[in-house]
Structure 1
């Protein structure tokens, strides 16, 4: 077993990543064969943080384990799987699920979080993977309470540019104006106390595509203030920003569509597929529809009898869908 104290980006704070190699060669070479490798991540869940510490709801945030998983994958890709620094990592898909809500409730003492990570290299050529897939079990204070996953692909700069530049041009051609919002929600409506962390406008009702839904404008200025990467990171809209916006949209949509109380609601499931690049300087909007609505109109319930609503989210710049997301919001009552 080899242990490293990983770098401490301001987003995560101090944390540890442990490699659990399956062969003795990893101890000697400090490298890993291009096959599945196991790791363990541990940290304290932050209490003082401009985003995490600003919560109107008594729950830990899915953002922390998801960003922990992403950064652990990036570290392992360079350190263990020989992925060259010149290749650009792109998140193709990601997801998280809460399996035991009790562990996610905030207590009087600072909680510890751990991830058991299984990383599998994909499309290996010459011993170097072109992608990396990770499945993780999430533990808070020793209790297994969730799961997380992600898939990264590593692109040469020329390939990355060939994908991103056309997306940018299409977005610029289609998105001159800023989406009009009827106003901004109160911070507590989206799970926060500080209005600076509100990233969305109030919803507008939509009736296209055969059913009622909601449309939200994303506040590009407020979103730009939330940096989930290092200060010198590429000028991209980070994938974790979609998770934060999804949570805010999900809480407000659950209140609008099903009367949920945001202060006692939690984003319990999130599964995203990224279909292109979202440009940070262009308008972004999110459309939401209830997913799996019962024929009798009654709200669905989980195994404990708590109300839960399934949502289908689409993020668009102009007419381009840049991310498709399936999510659930649980009312804790």
Structure 2
């Protein structure tokens, strides 16, 4: 039986275990979307993960969702990330940058521009702004000629990520952000080649991935998906058909992995496992749901055919999560009030497990 602590070959990387640190927004970047010394320490503390996937990084100013998130669209941002990736590598780790274009989940007070999206349909809920939460605004629908530029923004950011020392990138195609909005049947009301049919709704995702593969190679490119997820008011019709079609197209691009969230029932996810011939990362529990991923959830999905297992919140309070999972010592609880609090409290202040005689 495959163990969570077996090594795994992912592209050109040898992962020492099957544990993936899932991407989690922590809004600790400096002004200008710059990574910081604290971010370098945070990721380096967790470098025993088989693979770290960073917090969402905007590929353009237009793609920024919240204040305090980092970017990969300026030379200064590239330079700021280099000490972060170097710290992870010095500690023996591997790190991909998650590229996250927010689409409609943004606000002019954050970016200085009206958000863009497949259609002029507002997200459900409030978005973070420099002055506090505000209702999500109605975005501007992209013109057909503008859509390829947004797809290419992922590839341009991927090139910057590699320049910054990342081992690869993960496109954020989940949780109601831009790629997810194009996949949606209620956020995407387009009547051109990017909307309507399943073939058209997956087109933007495929073009974004294809451009990224062309830029940095398939072995350095992954994508995260949330089949049937309802984040930010997203709805998707024909979920099995939609994602089967998408994974079939992605298989031809020879990407490093697909990262699925447990946003659909097991029958759907197992059907997608059968469709997808490559490396599968699974987050076994609903992101931001009532339960955190534990050892039992991980072992179950390894038995069901996943190669790698994503752990999110458990990594926040447990920088030594891999060792805790290996030895069975308790998983420390996380202080939710400090998720997006800023500063080092609840960020760098969680200790490794202290063994007592």
Q: Could you state the TM-score of these two structures normalised by the residue count of structure 2?
A: 0.27
Normalized per residue, the structure richer in helix is 2
- Which is higher, the Rg of structure 1 or of structure 2? 1
